[in-house]
Amino acid sequence: EEGAQVTVNSLHPGVIRTNIMRTTKYL
């Protein structure tokens, strides 16, 4: 749900950025 995603983004913005960077490295 959108609400859940917003909560995760607010609590763990660093985790999301790390995941994006990892995906970029694999690609």
pTM of the prediction? 0.28
Q: pLDDT at position 12, please? A: 64
> Is 1 a residue whose pLDDT tops 70?
no
At 2-27, the pLDDT tens digits run: 666 666 656 666 677 777 777 777 66
With the CA atoms of 17, 22, 23 and 27 taken in that order, what torsion angle do they form, in degrees rounded to the nearest 10? 140
- Residue 21: predicted pLDDT: 77
Is 8:16 a contact under the CB 8 Å cutoff?
yes
- Looking at residue 4, its pLDDT comes to 65
